[in-house]
Structure 1
Amino acid sequence: MFYKFVKIWANISFRFYFRRIFVSGTEHIPKNAAVLFIVNHPNSFLEACLVACFQHRDLHFLVRGDMFEKKWLKPILKWTNQIPIFRFKDGFTNMKKNKSTFDESFKVLADGKAILIFPEASTLMVKYLRPLQKGAARLALGAIEEFNIEPLYVIPTGIFYSAPTKARSDVMIRFGKSVEIKKWLSTCTDNSDKLTEITKTFEKHLDQVVVSIHPEQDVREFDKLCDMVEPKLMPFPAAQKIQAHTAFEKMKQFALNYQQLNHQDHKLVRQTLGEYSNKFTSLPSLNFRLDSSIFQRSWLILKLCFTFLISIPGILCYGIPLLLSKQFAKTKIKHIEFYAPVRLAVSMFLHASFSVIAFWVITTQMNMFWGMIIVVLLQFSLFGFMLFLDFAAYAKYSFTGISEMDKKEKQKLFHRIEKLFSL
């Protein structure tokens, strides 16, 4: 029951936190059989929450064992299906506890349930897939050896963030084609190193669903490019969950093309970006200014005014907790991978607390019916503020004077990138 409640709560919170949530490949997830999700891990526990919320299976999670040492946290971890797993740096004594971890995981899979594991074994905010450790392979093969589970599906799952530390950015969740373990084993020779081979298979399948650039390439440059060509890469309305294969495929291909740039093309990209963003700090707003009519820009201003007006009650009620959560994450979190997850978790807690207080105050002064109605309306008001932030990102240059010469020059630069990346 607690898991279901947290899942619904987190699902709603994600729709406030992210501008657009692109989900694709859910048809690859079986409804009843045992499933092992293997997921890339750039943003701490955010990936686990996203996968739990945007597919139909209830999940069990393998998480850092040291988290269970916090007495206040241990019950919550148990209620949300967390299973502790220890790493080499946790010490040999703790490592011995992993036998019970694997035994528990085997039983979960034998019951036809689903487990999520991060085969990279640690979190690091990068835009490429890191080498996989053998934990996922041990879990999959061990489940077959111990319980002869048939079928057992491994689902490679890729998470891509347009801006990992920013609210109202975009996220893509891609579920890939499954690997059925017994079918895979039937193709192996008896004397092969199955643990190594299946880890390579997992890495190959996971690489197909992770948007990756080369580890040595400039992430900020890639992000600027994505902002520049966003209308081509992700031409979808804002503020919603979107079931779209094409958005992932375009982004995956775009990143692959960026990986394969030769030195001369890379130099051209850098030069084009410099010219395109010269004197303009907001590329989405610049794109909107160049591509929109005076009517569209006027309509944007009207939407800005309307969403701001309806958001005033939400800002008055929830402005302080949202600012507190942002400030807490900024001052207390040392590792960037934990910034967004902690900020979101704290804001969820404070938001719920303020909602309960508002409900109690209104119920005391009026009655329970009006307490429920007003608290629900406050949520719509707060979402109006999120829409206001979305519209504001495109409004910066809406009525800035841009000459026809500037406009033609910017369009020429855009077409240069469009041609270079085959958009």
Structure 2
Amino acid sequence: MNLYFFIRPFVRFGLKLYFKNIFIAGLNKIPSDKSIIIASNHPTAFFEPILLACLHSRSFNFLTRGDIFKKAFYHNLLSKLHMIPIFRFRDGHENMKKNQEIFNLCNQKLSDNQALVIFPEGHLSTGIGLDKLQKGTARMAFSALQNNPSIDLYIIPVTYYYSNPHHYRGDAFVECSKSIHVNSYFEAYKEHDALTINKLTAQLEEAMAEKVITIADDKYKTMVRSILKMYRNEFFIKRNEVIFKDRQIYQNSRLISNNFLELDTNQKEALFMSFQDLEKEAATTNYDIHYPKSNSSKIKLFFAIIMGFIPFLIGYLNLFPLKIAKSYTQKKIDEKAFFGPVLFGTSMIVWFFYYVLWVIVSFLVQNLFLHLYVILLPFITYYSIYYYDFIKFEINSLHINSIIESKRSEFMTKIDNLLV
């Protein structure tokens, strides 16, 4: 049994629960039958490979930090999930010597028209920009061509951004960019290898930097993240969908953040004061400024609450395993970049065993209604999460008043000006 393909539909379902929205653009730029190296930024520990593996039908091989392969159990498990260890200087000289074997393996996979995924920053990044790229991606690409000059090799930049990867119901953005044809550099590499490696790395860095969302790590950081969320929530998004092939929202979010960086200090401060004024006014009624006012009538809200509350309550009561997962993650994980992925993985595992327990009970009891309950349980739980999002949004609108609405409208106009 291929573990990679077996768990993929379950993980994809889990992603739809963990993230409120997943915006994906340019997925068609990843070919299904060519030798490719995916090069991406790395703001979290595991979400980047998980999202790529679940969003594209193609199989990928992920180069992963070698220190997590030390124990035989993890080595065996990670290998079955198509992960390949790569060692760094900090892993010691003996481990570094193993990288030649890894390069040989990668050469073979690329010769077989397979896909590799590498994170050229060489470490977990901040998630609000792009760090300087290492040269390993270019070296690996040219090594593959030296091993087999007949392969048609491409590097595809893929960039990620998360509104809040450390908590449930944030948003994820994935954008695949135009591929770089490595073969077009190969003749130059034969003449000047170091110079060509630098040139290819620089082109890759330029392509990725152009696509990432950059937020300065200063006092405006929280405001800019809020602005991006406010802008995103202005779009009508169907609540029964999660994965959207929409380039506009990601592109405009990037434009907003980049244009904000170009403002002078006085302009930034003026926008910041308007934001604080809006927050202060909204705090008087507990209104969440990130969401626009609902257009639904109070009658519609009333009937939605009445008709949907019972199945919501049943599903919500079955979400308590997620509280166990969150408590465990909070106790065990200190590094911020690992928190969200570990929370996601732990939540899936805990809820899976919880569901298996219900299945066992239903077989032991042999009751028709219990069988039906167990069959419907995943769907009811899924429904309860979306019902909660809907009710939360509608109830939030009840807290708005004319002053808040006016101030928010004025602030949204200023956000629109950042798109010019």
Q: Please give the TM-score of this superposition, normalised by the length of structure 1.
A: 0.91
Contact 1:212 1:256 in 2 (8 A): yes
The offset of 1:302, in angstroms, is 4.2
Q: How many residues align?
A: 416
Q: Judge which range, 26-35 or 246-255, deviates more.
A: 246-255
Q: 1:196 to 1:217 in 2, by over 3 A?
A: farther
Q: How does 1:334-349 map to 2 (within 5 A)?
A: 334-349=334-349
Match of 2:387 in 1: 388
Match of 1:365 in 2: 365
- 1:339-374 per-position Cα deviation (integer Å, ceiling 9, x unaligned): 01001111111111112111121122227x987754
Matched, 1:416 2:402: no
The offset of 1:53, in angstroms, is 0.7
Contact 2:232 2:249 in 1 (8 A): no
Match of 1:36 in 2: 37
Distance 1:217 1:179 in 2: 37
Q: 1:301 to 1:346 in 2, by over 3 A?
A: farther
Q: How does 1:58-207 map to 2 (within 5 A)?
A: 58-185=59-186, 190-191=191-192, 193-207=195-209
Aligned residue type for 1:346 = T
Q: 1:296 to 1:144 in 2, by over 3 A?
A: farther
Aligned residue type for 1:410 = R
Aligned residue type for 1:195 = I
5+ long unaligned stretches in structure 1 = none
The offset of 1:31, in angstroms, is 1.6
Aligned residue type for 1:356 = V
Aligned residue type for 1:81 = H
Aligned residue type for 2:211 = V
Task: State the Cα RMSD in Å.
Answer: 2.4
The offset of 1:315, in angstroms, is 3.1
Q: 1:186 to 1:371 in 2, by over 3 A?
A: farther
Match of 1:352 in 2: 352
Q: 1:31 to 1:257 in 2, by over 3 A?
A: same
Match of 1:379 in 2: 378
Counterpart secondary structure, 1:30: coil
Aligned residue type for 2:198 = T
- 1:89-131 per-position Cα deviation (integer Å, ceiling 9, x unaligned): 1111111111111111111111001111111111133310111
- 1:165-186 per-position Cα deviation (integer Å, ceiling 9, x unaligned): 1211111111111111102435
Distance 2:286 2:117 in 1: 37
The offset of 1:9, in angstroms, is 1.4
Q: 1:405 to 1:352 in 2, by over 3 A?
A: closer
Distance 1:253 1:318 in 2: 38
Q: Please give the TM-score of this superposition, normalised by the length of structure 2.
A: 0.91
Counterpart secondary structure, 2:15: helix
Aligned residue type for 2:82 = N
Aligned residue type for 2:15 = F
Distance 1:205 1:149 in 2: 26
Aligned residue type for 1:226 = L
Aligned residue type for 2:78 = L
Counterpart secondary structure, 1:19: strand
Contact 1:307 1:384 in 2 (8 A): no
Distance 1:187 1:216 in 2: 42
Match of 2:21 in 1: 20
5+ long unaligned stretches in structure 2 = none
Aligned residue type for 1:266 = K
Matched, 1:292 2:291: no
Aligned residue type for 1:230 = R
Distance 2:148 2:373 in 1: 53
